[in-house]
Structure 1
Amino acid sequence: MATTEHVEAVRAFNRFYTAKMGLTRGSYARPLPEVRVLYELGQGTEEVAALKQALRIDAGQLSRVIAKLEEQGLASRHVSPADARRQLVRLTDKGRERFAQMDAESAQQVGAVLDELGDAAGVVEAMRSLQSAIEPQGTLTLRDPEPGDLGWMVQRHGELYGREYGYDQSFERLVARIAADFDPATDRAWIATIDGERVGAILCVHVDAATAKLRTLLVEPKARGKGVGGALVGQVVRHARTRGYRTLTLYTNAHLHSARRLYERAGFTLTHEEPENAFGHEHVAQTWSLTLNP
């Protein structure tokens, strides 16, 4: 049973933390719900239902926050091309600029605080322990594929990309061909699970003696933000480097912002892009590359 002392200790910590981390000034000097919605939009979350789940916010309050962002020219609403009943929210050019500014300021402020500490690693570990104590995340595991996993990967790609981006069935057929061509003698696959439940997948496909290709990265919506995508991409990079490949490449589309951020963090750089009509839409197709063993 929480005592008055416990409650006051938590409130005191909240006041200390928000002031210390600069959450009451700069780009963060706006209502917290607006900041959180901007962040989720900047991470590539577009569907209103997904925003509501990620923020754990009342639907009415979320609608009011989105309306304020629209009034400021930071966001715009759209009907999902896959389902007219679903609503999407996207950052405008002005919104992306504001998010980039906010994100950079936040990173600078947090970095400055950590630089002042004698044991930054210990503080970060304590934060992780606190997060785990408040809300256990489950155990993330990357395992080899089992019977049925490749079929599940194809199905979920078709369903998620159709619902979130309006892709037609040609995308699901593409993923099915990739799965059919998977060769365990030369290729590797990993299935991400949390407490045994499948939440993600990725392939590393052999191209030639010098080159491998990262393919079919998938993270279930409910597992996003839990490190699943980073763990999968990191696993492919480690495997490709260990196998002696010199270069790791991948194909993506410019509008897949969350995936692109994962690739950038892993060290990939954009090497080529061009307009493409695929999966029922006009896209900007991109090729990214990572030098492993020069």
Structure 2
Amino acid sequence: MDELVSQVRAFNRFYTRVIGVVGAGMYDTSYSLTEGRVLYELRQTGEMETGELRRMLDLDAGYLSRMLARFEADGLLTKERSPADARRQVLRLAERGRQVQRELDDASSAAVRDQLVPLSGEDRRRLIAAMTAIQRILGDAPAPRGYVIRPPRAGDLGWVVHRHATLYTEERGWDENFEGLAARIVADYAEDHDPKREAGWIAEVDGEPAGSILCVKRDDRTAQLRLLLVEPSARGMGIGGRLIEECLAFAKRVGYERIVLMTVDELAEARRLYQRAGFTLDEQHPMKAYGRDLVEQYWSRPL
């Protein structure tokens, strides 16, 4: 935990420097980052009581009072007594204030655009996905509401191996032999699959891979479902079932008559997905694999 705390603090210091560079002198104006944020909130809300603004931005009352006095003197805002409570003041941006805020907003967008321009498309995607994940995990962003299912792109198959090895080690305590199995399956698919009769899919959430599945040839009449995975952060969204549906639809469309899969008994959630998709258990037997005593299961269904 101490190491994690240090890493988070190091990131906070780094990103504070990034924000400082982007907003230095608030884009060559006389306004600070905090002043720009106050103008932004007033423009977004239309009007706000002084106390509400102070609590929202966690500002010292004296500091905010001096800032608002300067804004009023510069013609950026107006203040009037609240009709509900004469002890409170209601703030509204004047037209000059709205103009200044628009200029700051445009300058902010330009500064961020300058940071993004040197990045590759892949780095931009990873950056936004990481920022979205931080917001969601720390509670400032809603949980993802949707996902896409797409064919694998460059690098995705390596991700499939990596995430299988990582998750099965963390969640199940399986050893490196399982990573070897996942790597062999992926290598065989990448090197020698028939695109007319074999395919793979990646589930993507907020621009990041969140699930996988392969449909490969067992024989001319039989397909095999392999490497179904859903990231913990994306579970409960229906991704696993949707990946299975995609696999089944493809297998039927290209002419297979039956589809099979192999799993183990301790993967209860995956087993429930297979049952809901119409698979039935054909056989099972004990085995020792991946450093564990497991029960290997073979399931199948007609197409």
- TM interval, shorter chain, is 0.5 to 0.7
CA contact (8 A) 2:144 2:206 kept: no
State the Cα RMSD in Å: 1.7
Alpha-carbon displacement from aligned partner over 1:42-100 (angstroms, at most 9, x marks no partner): xxxxxxxxxxxxxx9xxxxxxxxxxxxxxxxxxxxxxxxxxxxxxxxxxxxxxxxxxxx
- Tell me if the contact between 1:142 and 1:193 (Cα under 8 Å) persists in the aligned partners: yes
8 Å contact 1:190–1:202 — kept in the other structure? Answer: yes
Letter in 1 for 2:269: S
Counterpart residue number, 2:182: 175
Letter of the structure 2 residue corresponding to residue 283 of structure 1: L
> Does the Cα contact within 8 Å between 1:271 and 1:288 map onto a contact in 2?
yes
Residue number in structure 2 paired with 1:274: 285
TM-score (norm 2): 0.51
Q: Describe the SS at the equivalent of 2:219.
A: coil
C-alpha distance in structure 2 between counterparts of 1:184 and 1:268, whole Å: 25
Q: 1:290 corresponds to which letter in structure 2? A: R
Task: Tell me how far apart the structure 1 counterparts of residues 155 and 204 of structure 2 sit (CA, whole Å).
Answer: 14
Q: Paired residue for 2:208?
A: 197
- The code of the aligned residue for 1:217 comes to L
Who is 1:140 aligned against? 147
Instruction: Verify: 1:232 aligned to 2:243, yes or no.
Output: yes
Q: Residue 251 of structure 2: SS of its match in structure 1? A: helix
Q: Higher relative contact order at CA 8 Å, sep ≥6: structure 1 or structure 2?
A: 1
How many percent of aligned residue pairs carry the same amino acid?
47
CA contact (8 A) 2:226 2:261 kept: yes
How far off its partner does 1:259 sit?
A: 0.2
Query: What residue number does 1:223 align with?
Result: 234
Give the Cα separation in 1 of the matches to 2:297 and 2:143.
37
For each residue in 1:235-293, what CA deviation from the matched residue of structure 2 results, as whole angstroms up to 9, or x when unmatched? 1011111112111000000010000000000000000100011111110000000111x
2:230 counterpart letter in structure 1: V
Contact 1:271 1:289 in 2 (8 A): yes
Q: Give the Cα–Cα distance (whole angstroms) in 2 for the partners of residues 274 and 161 of structure 1.
A: 21
Pair 1:161 & 2:168 matched: yes
Report the 3-state secondary structure (helix = DSSP H, G, I; strand = E; otherwise coil) of the residue aligned with 1:225.
coil
Q: 1:152 is matched with which residue: 155, 159, 164?
A: 159
Q: Which amino acid aligns with 1:187?
A: E
**Are the structure 2 counterparts of residues 249 and 178 from structure 1 closer, same or farther at C-alpha, using a change threshold of 3 Å?**
same
Deviation (angstroms), 1:138? 3.1
Q: Is the 8 A contact 2:211 2:230 kept in 1?
A: yes
CA distance in structure 2 between the partners assigned to 1:219 and 1:201 by the alignment: 7
Task: Give the SS at the match of 1:207.
Answer: strand
Per-residue deviation, 1:197: 1.3
1:207 shift after superposition: 1.4
Residues in 2 aligned to 1:282 and 1:263: alpha-carbon distance in whole angstroms: 22
Does structure 1 retain, via aligned residues, the 8 Å contact 2:245–2:277? yes
Uncovered stretches (5+) of structure 1, i.e. residues with no partner:
2-55, 57-133
Tell me how far 1:184 sits from its aligned partner: 4.5
Contact 1:248 1:291 in 2 (8 A): yes
Counterpart CA distance in 2 for 1:191 and 1:231 is 11
How many residues matched? 161
**Structure 2, gaps ≥5 residues long:** 1-44, 46-136
Pair 1:216–1:162, CA change in 2 (3 A): same
Match of 1:244 among 244, 249, 255: 255
Question: Could you say which structure has the larger radius of gyration?
Answer: 2
- The change in CA–CA distance for 1:197 and 1:184 in structure 2 (over 3 A counts) is farther
Q: How far does the alpha carbon of each residue in 1:205-234 deviate from its partner, in whole angstroms, 9 at most, with x for none? A: 011210000000010000011111011011
Give the alignment's TM-score, normalised by structure 1: 0.53
